[in-house]
Amino acid sequence: MAQKLQPTWDLDVIFPGQSSSEEFQHFVNEVSKEIEVLTEKVNHLNVNGHVEDWEEILENLETVTKKSREMGAFISCLSAQNVTDKQADIYVAKRAQIAAASSALTKIVDQKLGAITEANWNLLLEREAIKPLQFILQERRERAREQLSKNEEILISDLAVDGYHAWNQMYGTIVGNMKIEIEEDGEIQSYSVGQASNKLSTPDRKQREYIFRQISDAWKANEDLFGQTLNHLAGFRLETYKHYKWDNVLKEPLAINRMQEETLNTMWEAIVKHKPLFVEYLAQKASLLNLDKLSIFDVNAPIQSKVEKKSYDEGASFIVDQFRSFSPQMADFAQMAFEKRWIEAEDRPGKRPGGFCTSFPLSEQTRIFMTYSGTPSNIATLAHELGHGYHQHVMNKVNGLNQGYAMNVAETASTFAEMIVADASVKTAKTDEEKLTLLEDKVSRSVAFFMNIHARFLFEKQFYEERKQGMVSTERLNELMIEAQKEAYCESLSEYDPHFWASKLHFHITGVPFYNFPYTFGYLFSQGIYAYAKDYEGDFEEKYNALLRDTGRMTVEELAQKHLQVDLTQPDFWENAIGICKQDVQEFLELAKKLEK
Ligand SMILES: [Zn+2]
């Protein structure tokens, strides 16, 4: 990459004219209209009529799906790049409307898939055009068949608006109104929960503890309200499960993630077995921070050491070079993304915080959003998002209906890309202190997935069991949270966070249940592939691409069996994956001890 890169993205090649684009306005109307027309068509479909009719419906559905995603992606870009863009806000509302229409359409299609007779179903699946869609069609038909009657389903989803999702909104409203007072330089400042939480990363221990106490007090003051929101949304969920006759609260989240409970158990067992080394890391970190033991609010504290910054151009070449050592195609993709300006990385006011990668399946392009200021964490984020972009890139030619991968494999390519770059950053560190900081950053990520997320999982599982018997009191919720954290952190901390069940939004999400274990799965799945790639003798790149291409059309067990020849219900794969994480801990411990002398 010889020329100087521009850190702003080009949206005009997709729709010219930003949020006032006439082409885009026209496109949005078209998507909305097409969903309407297709819904009409599906409503009038004779499910056991001609199989050709189904072929046509599924073809239309693919087109509409791709168009909706294209539209949604453009809106995401508009609203992220400029938070004051009023037209973008209007489009965000429009997108929600279209999403509702589109999910209603999906429901009808699924019901109809469930109503096809066995004989006709077999005929349909044998059609050449349908064969590639077998997995997702079977899946949708099975789910449709577990549903209650059409009227009962309608009733549940109508009542869910105010009786279920409303609890999540209520949660958001209460959190939005919370103010946390923090004294800084002799003056009391009032902050939102998010702003105050960001201040927990201060290297000043006293200040960190003070901020943690202030935040904890605020959660405590509202705990009875959150006890209500959590109990009621869980109550609604369990009540529907009862009607579906599902006794296991993990049934739904496992199905969404296309994985078996055995796989999940084997994964956690392997993690638990290797926790002692991570406990050693926590003890070493305590010693670096001059503490006897870490408190929960010290786990993510920085270990203070200056790390060298890289300009955008330097960061870009570093990423492309490191990708190349693993996969020339990945490197070429990243280089193209930089040169064609698929990335919005400029450090300027008015941008939304955070980072994401969004796909334009019709244009076969992706866009990455982030704010780049040159830190190693920025470079890691950039690599991460490029990983997502690459995932979409290899999926471009896959049928649109087979591009829907679940949360637990969604992070495979991104974590993989991030790991390549994080490893390279450690290797090229200029001083031992810098190296220690970079290693610490890597290990703290493993700790988050193995301990913090494990605590969330343990809590949620126990909470749902107790909720089956009735309301769970706030005292009990606090108790359950502490028990879960003690178990997950192997009792290695001096203090825990009893109100974490209230402060973590994820417990209050109604869209998806158990918004926790898929993170850990995704992280370790990626580590396992990394371990595999390092030992693989043949053409890993092609193998990797083939795996990514299949992420939206099989279970995770099938995916691993087909592409990595491993059985995820057995410990071997997980052992290898955790082994990669353990190497970092060992290196960190050795280096920390050397520097202490
Ligand atoms: Zn990601």
Reported as a single tens digit per residue, the pLDDT across 211-232 is 999 999 999 999 999 999 999 9
Residues 442-464, mean pLDDT to the nearest whole number: 97
How is residue 106 written in tokens?
């999906």
The answer to whether 74 touches 14, Cβ cutoff 8 Å, is yes
**Pick from 172, 6, 15: which is nearest to 507 by CA?**
172
Distance 222 CA to ligand 1 centre (A): 32
Expressed in angstroms and rounded, the spacing between residue 408 Cα and the centre of ligand 1 is 11
Distance (Å) from CA 355 to ligand 1 centroid: 9
CA of 53 to the centre of ligand 1 (A): 38
Task: Quote the percentage of the chain above a pLDDT of 70.
Answer: 100
Measure the CA angle with vertex 440, ends 434 and 441; round to 5°.
95
For residues 376-395, average pLDDT: 95
pLDDT score, position 138: 96
Alpha-carbon distances, residue 235 vs 101, 172, 228, 510, 512 (angstroms): 27, 18, 10, 12, 15
356 DSSP β-pair partners: 369
Q: How far does residue 40's CA lie from ligand 1's centre (Å)?
A: 36
Distance 410 CA to ligand 1 centre (A): 7
What pLDDT shows up at residue 139? 96
The answer for residues whose C-beta is within 8 angstroms of residue 591's C-beta and 6 or more apart is: 432, 435, 436, 439
pLDDT band at 362 (very low <50, low <70, confident <90, very high): very high
Q: How far is the CA of 44 from the centre of ligand 1 (A)?
A: 40
| pLDDT value at residue 340 | 97
Full-model pTM: 0.92
> pLDDT at residue 4 above 60?
yes
So what's the pLDDT on residue 188? Answer: 94
**170 pLDDT above the threshold of 60:** yes
Q: How many A from CA of 25 to the centre of ligand 1?
A: 29
Please state the length of the chain: 597
Residue 414 CA to ligand 1 centre (angstroms):
6
- Output the CA 519–ligand 1 centroid distance in Å: 10
Q: Which residues contact 114 (CB under 8 A, 6 or more apart)?
A: 141, 144, 145, 147
What CA–CA distance (Å, rounded) separates 259 from 268? 14
Distance 55 CA to ligand 1 centre (A): 34
Query: Ligand 1: distance of its center to the CA of 291 in Å?
Result: 33
Average pLDDT for the chain = 94
What is the whole-number distance in angstroms between the Cα of residue 370 and the centre of ligand 1? 12
The H-or-E segment that residue 59 falls in is helix 51-81
pLDDT score recorded for residue 1: 67
Looking at residue 42, its pLDDT comes to 96
Q: Tokens standing for 499?
A: 């109100």
**Measured in angstroms, how far is the CA atom of residue 165 from the centroid of ligand 1?**
25
Provide the pLDDT confidence category of residue 538 given band limits of 50, 70 and 90.
confident
Question: 161-165: long-range contacts (C-beta < 8 A, 24 or more apart)?
Answer: 163/236, 164/233, 164/236, 164/237, 164/510, 165/510
Alpha carbon distance 379, 372 (integer Å): 8
* Residues forming beta bridges with residue 360, ordered by sequence position: 365
Local confidence band at 2 (pLDDT 50, 70, 90 cut-offs) = low
Q: What is the pLDDT of residues 19-71, one digit of tens each?
A: 999 999 999 999 999 999 999 999 999 989 888 999 999 999 999 999 999 99
Distance CA 396, CA 339 (A): 20
pLDDT at position 534 is 85
How far, in Å, from the CA of 418 to the mean position of ligand 1? 10
Q: Say how far apart CA 517 and CA 530 lie, in whole Å.
A: 20
At 504, the amino acid letter reads: K
Distance 457 CA to ligand 1 centre (A): 20
Q: Which helix (H) or strand (E) holds 579?
A: helix 571-596
- What average pLDDT does this structure show over 446-468? 97
Confidence at 353, pLDDT banded by 50, 70, 90? confident
Distances (CA, A) of 308 to 202, 384, 433, 505: 19, 20, 11, 34
Residue 412 Cα to ligand 1 middle (Å): 9
Taking the C-alpha atoms of residue 5 and residue 314, their distance in angstroms, rounded to an integer, is 10
CA distances to 173, 175, 343, 574 from 189, in Å: 21, 18, 36, 47
Rounded to an integer, the average pLDDT of 82-87 is 92
Q: Please, which pLDDT band fits residue 447 given cuts at 50, 70 and 90?
A: very high
DSSP helix/strand/coil, 552: coil
HEC string of 386-418 equals HHHHHHHHHHCCCCHHHCCCCHHHHCHHHHHHH
Angle formed by the axes of helices 432-447 and 376-395, to 10°? 50
Q: Nearest CA to 311 among 281, 345, 340?
A: 345
Tokens representing 237?
Answer: 């969920």
Contacts of 517 (CB under 8 A, 6+ apart): 253, 264, 408, 453, 457
Q: What is the 478 CA–ligand 1 centroid distance (Å)?
A: 30
| Alpha carbon of 153 to ligand 1 centroid (Å) | 33
Average of per-residue pLDDT across 451-479: 98
Separation of 443 CA from ligand 1 center, angstroms? 18
Asked whether residue 308 carries a pLDDT value surpassing 90, the answer given is no
Mean pLDDT confidence for 418-432: 93
Long-range contacts (CB closer than 8 Å, 24 or more residues apart) made by 147-151: 147/111, 147/114, 147/244, 148/243, 148/244, 150/111
**Gap from CA of 405 to ligand 1 centroid (Å):** 13
Burial (CB count <10 Å: 0-12, 13-18, 19+), residue 322 = buried
pLDDT range class, residue 306, cuts 50, 70, 90 = confident
Average pLDDT of the residues in 482-486: 98
CB-CB contact of 523 with 415 (8 Å): yes
Could you tell me the distance, in angstroms and rounded to a whole number, from the CA of residue 415 to the centre of ligand 1? 7
The rounded Å distance from CA 190 to ligand 1 centre is 32
CA of 195 to the centre of ligand 1 (A): 22
pLDDT tens track for 269-279: 999 999 999 99
Residue 177: pLDDT over 80: yes
pLDDT of residue 173 exceeding 80, the answer is yes
pLDDT at 304: 74
- Cα 539 to Cα 75, 284, 379: the distances in Å are 39, 40, 27
17: left (phi over 0), alpha (psi -120 to 50) or beta: left
In the chain, what's the furthest Cα-to-Cα distance? 80
Q: Poorest-confidence range of 29-38, 73-82, 155-164?
A: 155-164
Would you state the pLDDT for residue 45? Answer: 94
The CA 411 to ligand 1 mean position distance, Å, reads: 5
**Contact in structure between 523 and 450 (CB atoms under 8 Å):** no
pLDDT digits (tens, 9 = 90+) for 284-298: 999 999 999 999 999
What pLDDT score does 537 carry? 87
Q: Is 594 exposed, middle or buried (0-12, 13-18, 19+ CB in 10 A)?
A: exposed
Confidence of residue 568 (pLDDT cuts 50, 70, 90): very high
Distance CA 463, CA 476 (A): 9
Rounded CA gap, 190 and 398, in Å? 50
pLDDT band at 102 (very low <50, low <70, confident <90, very high): very high
